[in-house]
Homo-oligomer: A and B are copies of this chain.
């Protein structure tokens, strides 16, 4: 009797240890990507992951080379009616305006304060750069981070009335997690500001700061009252868009991705760069086709342009195009 119960204890202990060791692998096989409808799109992802993770497959890729890069705006979260980082900048102008009485009579700030978005847009690149310089520079990296955190935790979308950070795509969150379960290293490679994204990408996407690549302004090391700081200067350092994305990937990662996802013409070169990897690769594009649940836009949109020539290249090169309306069961996470 004693021996029998000892056997059972050993058995249970063995099973417990066995399952704690293999828990991660178990998750992999149990219904991945639940918010994706069954069909060609979902299957193309699963087939790819199965092929590169199977040591007996000719397409097998070592875990250390399983690099996956994701655009952010329009790929991981929404980007309409304008990039959310612009909303942050406009909100910052309003918050800073008590210290800048002159803005009441200076464009483009006057238009921002009067909620004349059309006027802001018409101020063009010059106006936009003035807004960026005023709201993104002239402070330390630590100070900027605090502004971003305060904003992302409270700011809401003008028409959806959701927190911006809740307007992330549930199917893409599942895809990021699915890849990580399969020992991929997931990176963001975005035209957005690297220091605008880093304070919240870990909690929202599970992607730590060191795996975020983005556009940047110049920073300068200075001693202020005997304490070192990095001052943010009103000068562009790097634009991580279009031809810049492979440059940013090479600079920050130093390896070609085997998996890349974007949604617009700004991601074309990242997908081409990924495709030039000598091994098996996956290239995906989110196509915004869902007017009801999100937005529908393509070649004629100034934000997230998905040109006809991009669609042609996707078709001729065998890239996976996600039809948001038909491929995704839900858009945003349900709270």
Residues of B within 8 Å of A308, CB to CB, are: none
Chain copies in the assembly?
A: 2
Minimum CB–CB distance from A224 to chain B (whole Å) comes to 11
Which one of A127-135, A250-258, A280-288, A319-327 is at the interface? Answer: A250-258
Structural contact, B14 and A252, CB atoms closer than 8 A = no
A216 to B254, CA, bound (A): 12
Interface size class of A (residues with CB under 8 A): 35 or more
The verdict on A228 contacting B246 (CB below 8 Å), with A3-B3, A7-B3, A17-B21 known, is yes
Structural contact, B228 and A269, CB atoms closer than 8 A = yes
A-side binding surface: helix, strand, loop or mixed?
A: helix
A198 to B246, CA, bound (A): 17
A67 to B219, CA, bound (A): 21
Q: Does A141 contact B (CB under 8 A)?
A: yes
Q: Does A122 contact B (CB under 8 A)?
A: no
Q: Does A10 contact B (CB under 8 A)?
A: yes
A220 interface neighbour in B13, B220, B243, Cβ under 8 Å: B243
Structural contact, A247 and B220, CB atoms closer than 8 A = yes
Nearest B residue to A212 via CB reads: B254
Q: Does A11 contact B (CB under 8 A)?
A: yes
Structural contact, B254 and A252, CB atoms closer than 8 A = no
Minimum CB–CB distance from A194 to chain B (whole Å) comes to 7
Report which residue of A194, A254, A272 has the largest number of chain B beta carbons within 10 angstroms of its beta carbon.
A254
A273 to B272, CA, bound (A): 38
Residues of B within 8 Å of A254, CB to CB, are: 194-195, 198, 209-210, 212
A230 interface neighbour in B10, B13, B246, Cβ under 8 Å: B246
Nearest B residue to A197 via CB reads: B254
Structural contact, B14 and A210, CB atoms closer than 8 A = no
Minimum CB–CB distance from A268 to chain B (whole Å) comes to 10
Nearest B residue to A223 via CB reads: B272
CB within 8 Å of B: which A187-234 residues: 194-195, 198, 202, 208-212, 216, 219-221, 227-228, 230
Residues of B within 8 Å of A211, CB to CB, are: 210
Q: Does A31 contact B (CB under 8 A)?
A: no
